[in-house]
């Protein structure tokens, strides 16, 4: 039996994961039992990069009402896309050096299906366009004008994404045109979100306007499956924030999920992924990368290069902002 079919046919394709992750993922004939039948209490939860309480509350609303993780992460990150005070995501995002706001986003579901948009202009909800790419096309990624045209065909409205505030900031920046990515932007930045629903299924979403004042056409890690986001419903999920070029070079989110597959906790996996960047880059003191991960048991972890990165977690235990450990001590 094909692996995907096997997983779909089991009530939850991950049932044996809690007790024997590696054995179950390699042995397709082993009996998988729903977590509920095993007596394991599934606890829905959502985590997101940075202190984004509106986003996690919105996602939790979906999960708490019995909704699925995919709907939760889409709805959650949409809060940031529409929030013009977040100048790193969606409407109100800082533009590229020519004054154009260009968005990158991707989404990944429990079946390993994914959709992505890169260099998308004039559409606020890049994440929802990415979901449409996943669900309504045979493709994974649409770029630029093609992505924008696709969005209009799907009924997304054309909107001006450059707000007066971001325009003024850009005009100020143009006076020196010095390209220096800011290390931690006002406690909110690119949003990467991971959720587990009542069935124990995991999905993730990541959306951004990318690095402020980038060269026109630049695409970061956030829409790249495996770099800004990766989910394997048998194992867990990971997402990234910070200088995307450094994340792409080490395929950070995929690396974290694979490290968890080998038995590392989300925390250990995030630390190793940061160490990988630092060990290959003498310049690491000058940029930030932060990782966030969850595993199938609902354990979470995060790690970053510079101090200051935090993540939000919403579960039945509460709604909290958790500071991340950092390679460079605070
Ligand atoms: C990017 N990772 O485009 C995103 C931006 C970001 O802190 O997270 N900035 O590289």
Quote the ligand 1 centre to 110 CA distance (angstroms): 24
Which of 190, 207, 250, 300 is flagged as catalytic? 190
pLDDT tens readout for residues 197-225: 999 999 999 999 999 999 999 999 999 99
CATH fold of 41-326 reads 3.60.20
Quote the ligand 1 centre to 251 CA distance (angstroms): 14
pLDDT tens readout for residues 9-18: 333 333 333 3
Ligand 1 atom 9, closest CA:
242
Task: Using the atom order of ligand 1, give the atom closest to the CA of residue 49.
Answer: 8
Asked whether the predicted pLDDT for residue 22 surpasses 50, the reply is no
Asked whether the predicted pLDDT for residue 6 surpasses 50, the reply is no
Quote the ligand 1 centre to 212 CA distance (angstroms): 9
Q: Would you call 207 a catalytic residue per the annotation?
A: no
What pTM does this model have?
0.88
Task: Using the atom order of ligand 1, give the atom closest to the CA of residue 220.
Answer: 3
Quote the ligand 1 centre to 276 CA distance (angstroms): 18
The ranges assigned to domains in the chain are: 41-326
pLDDT reported for residue 185: 55
Ligand 1 atom 10, closest CA:
244
Task: Using the atom order of ligand 1, give the atom closest to the CA of residue 218.
Answer: 3
pLDDT reported for residue 187: 47
**Pocket around ligand 1 at a 6 A CB cut-off:** 88, 189-190, 208, 210-211, 220-222, 241-244
Q: What is the 3-state secondary structure (H, E, C) of the chain?
A: CCHHHHHHHCCCCCHHHHCCHHHHHHCCCCCCCCCCCCCCCCCCEEEEEECCHHHHHHHHHHHHCCCCHHHHHHHHHHHHHHCCCCCCCCCCCCCCCCCCCCEEEEEECCCCCEEEEEEECCCCCHHHHHHHHHHHCCCCEEEHHHHHHHHHHCCCCCCCCCCHHHHHHHHHHHCCCCCCCCCCCCCCCCEEEEEECCCCCEEEEEEECCCCCCCCCCCCCCCCECCCEEEECCCEEEEEEECHHHHHHHCHHHHHHHHHHCCCCHHHHHHHHHHHHHHCCCCHHHCCEEEEEEECCCCEEEEECCCCCEEEEEECCEEEEEECEECCCC
């Amino acid at each position: 039996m094909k692996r995907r079919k096997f997983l779909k046919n089991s009530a939850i394709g991950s049932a044996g994961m809690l007790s024997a992750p590696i054995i179950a993922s390699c042995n397709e004939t082993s009996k998988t039992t729903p977590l509920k039948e095993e007596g394991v209490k599934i606890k829905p939860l959502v985590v997101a990069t940075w202190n984004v309480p509106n986003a996690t509350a919105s996602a939790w609303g979906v999960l708490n009402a019995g909704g699925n993780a995919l709907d939760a992460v889409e709805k959650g990150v949409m809060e940031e896309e529409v929030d013009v005070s977040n100048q790193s995501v969606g409407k109100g995002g800082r533009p590229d050096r020519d004054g154009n706001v260009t968005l990158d986003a991707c989404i990944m579901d429990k079946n390993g299906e994914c959709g992505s948009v890169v260099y998308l202009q004039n559409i606020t909800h890049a994440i929802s366009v990415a979901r449409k790419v996943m669900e309504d096309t045979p493709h994974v990624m649409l770029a630029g004008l093609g992505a924008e045209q696709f969005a209009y065909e799907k009924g997304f409205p054309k909107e001006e994404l450059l707000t007066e505030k971001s325009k003024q900031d850009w005009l100020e920046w143009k006076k020196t045109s010095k390209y220096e990515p800011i290390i931690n932007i006002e406690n909110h930045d690119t949003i990467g979100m991971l959720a587990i629903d009542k069935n124990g299924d995991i999905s993730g979403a990541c959306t951004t306007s990318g690095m402020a004042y980038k060269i026109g056409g630049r695409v970061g890690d956030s829409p790249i499956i495996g770099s800004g986001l990766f989910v394997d419903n048998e194992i867990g999920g990971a997402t990234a924030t910070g200088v995307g070029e450094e994340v792409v070079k080490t395929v950070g989110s995929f690396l974290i999920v694979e490290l968890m597959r080998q038995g590392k906790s989300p925390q250990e996996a995030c630390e190793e992924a940061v160490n990988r960047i630092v060990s290959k880059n003498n310049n690491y003191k000058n940029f930030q990368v932060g990782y966030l991960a969850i595993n199938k048991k609902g354990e979470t972890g995060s790690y970053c290069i510079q101090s200051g990165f935090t993540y939000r977690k919403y579960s039945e235990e509460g709604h909290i902002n958790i500071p991340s450990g950092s390679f460079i001590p605070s």
